[in-house]
Amino acid sequence: MGYYYVIFLLPLSLTPLPSSTIFIDVNHQEIGEVIFSGSIRHQDISFEEIPDFYKKSLIALEDRTFYSNNGISLRGVLRSTLRNIQAFQVIE
């Protein structure tokens, strides 16, 4: 039932992230940036560029069973589905 709710009934209206334009010279050095009104500064980085301590900290905070649940925490999916159903909106 939870799967059916998530796939067919849950309204997912994700807003796109605001963006900025970064100007890079021929030596790949950042020389300027235009941040659009109401935007936040962000840059895409590869997984390898994220510091190891940050990855471990995030996993410890978000999902202690990350390395033992094959990528999907059934308990977490069920918990968030139940909370979304109880709230009649996406809260998790």
Residue 10 pLDDT > 80: no
26 vs 46: CA distance, rounded Å: 21
Q: How far is CA 11 from CA 6, 29, 59, in A?
A: 8, 42, 27
Domain boundaries, the chain: 2-87
pLDDT tens digits along 59-74: 877 777 777 777 777 8
10 vs 90: CA distance, rounded Å: 7
Give the confidence band of 83 by pLDDT, cuts at 50, 70, 90: very high
Residue where the block lists tokens 């796939």: 7
Residue 82 pLDDT > 90: yes
41 vs 33: CA distance, rounded Å: 9
Question: What pLDDT does 4 receive?
Answer: 63
Mean pLDDT over each residue of the chain, to the nearest integer: 78
Whether the full predicted model's pTM is greater than 0.85, yes or no, is: no
14 vs 90: CA distance, rounded Å: 10
